[in-house]
Amino acid sequence: MDATVKGCAAAAERIGYYHFAALILEERMRPGHIASLFKLSASPQAGRHAALIILAGGLSRYRAEPLGWSGDVERKLAREALERERPNIRDLDALLAELSAEAARLVKGSSKRERLLTAA
């Protein structure tokens, strides 16, 4: 399975979206599909959560295949999600950097956890 999908699912699970994490894995959802589903959410945190999940997927892909990685698609989708949630935010780049660091913490060690699950 693709590292992006696994990273997105791991992040979704860690922030409490257990059923959505399972759906991401089952449907092999790409970041664009995840962003589309979060657009339908009425939650005030939907943009932030979508950005975290999408950024985590991009970071997981980088860990798996750093050569040729740019993360541009994930960054664009995360930016759009945050702009919908907070249209008047002034320093979006600082918020994206903060969320990228948080996404990195969410996926940290997820490969170790996956090895344990597949060994069981």
pTM, two decimal places? 0.86
Quick one: which H or E segment has residue 77?
Answer: helix 72-85
Of 105, 91, 52, the C-alpha closest to 75 is: 52
Can you give the residue range of the structural domain that contains 93?
Answer: 3-119
Separation of alpha carbons 101 and 29, rounded Å? 22
Tens of pLDDT along the chain (120 residues) come to 699 999 999 999 999 999 999 999 999 999 999 999 999 998 889 999 999 999 999 999 999 999 988 999 999 999 999 988 777 777 888 899 999 999 999 888 655 444 434 333
Report whether 23 contacts 36 (CB < 8 A): no
Q: How many domains does the chain have?
A: 1
